Amino acid sequence: MKKMGELLRQGARMLSDACPECGTPLFQLKNGDTICPMCNKPVKFVKGDADPQAEAHKKRLEESLRKKIDEIQTRLDEADDPVLIGELTDTLMKLMDALDRAKKLGA
């Protein structure tokens, strides 16, 4: 318990996750490391156990981008002005690129 207070004073953040070994709340240090104050060792999260909030964020971003891609694609189908077609194609490319990057987030 004393150690936890010390960590907080050092600017560490208490996480909502608990140590898989002893159940003590984990702390994230200023340098980004996650440690258990009881086991006194860094905790590495297993892959696939990603931050659910970040995961939800990523899903939302992907959804928004997909929706926009659909919208732009519909407009592109109807467009006959070469300038507009160029602009829409540019936008489409950017959106697809963004979607590609969003998919790789946290991977």
Closer residue to Zn ion (CB): 30 or 41: 41
* Interatomic CA distance for residues 69 and 28, integer angstroms: 37
Minimum distance from residue 89 beta carbon to Zn ion (Å):
54
- How many residues at the interface with Zn ion, by CB under 5 A? 7
Q: Is 22 in the site for Zn ion (CB under 5 A)?
A: yes
Minimum distance from residue 15 beta carbon to Zn ion (Å):
12
Sequence-ordered list of residues with C-beta below 8 angstroms from that of 85, at least 6 positions apart, any chain: 76, 79
Minimum distance from residue 28 beta carbon to Zn ion (Å):
14
List, in sequence order, every residue forming a beta bridge with 18; answer none if it has no partner: 25
* Interatomic CA distance for residues 47 and 23, integer angstroms: 19
Q: Is 39 in the site for Zn ion (CB under 5 A)?
A: yes
Sequence-ordered list of residues with C-beta below 8 angstroms from that of 23, at least 6 positions apart, any chain: none
Residue 74 token pair: 């519909």
Q: Is 21 in the site for Zn ion (CB under 5 A)?
A: yes
Closer residue to Zn ion (CB): 16 or 77: 16
Which chain residues interact with Zn ion by CB under 5 A?
19, 21-22, 24, 36, 38-39
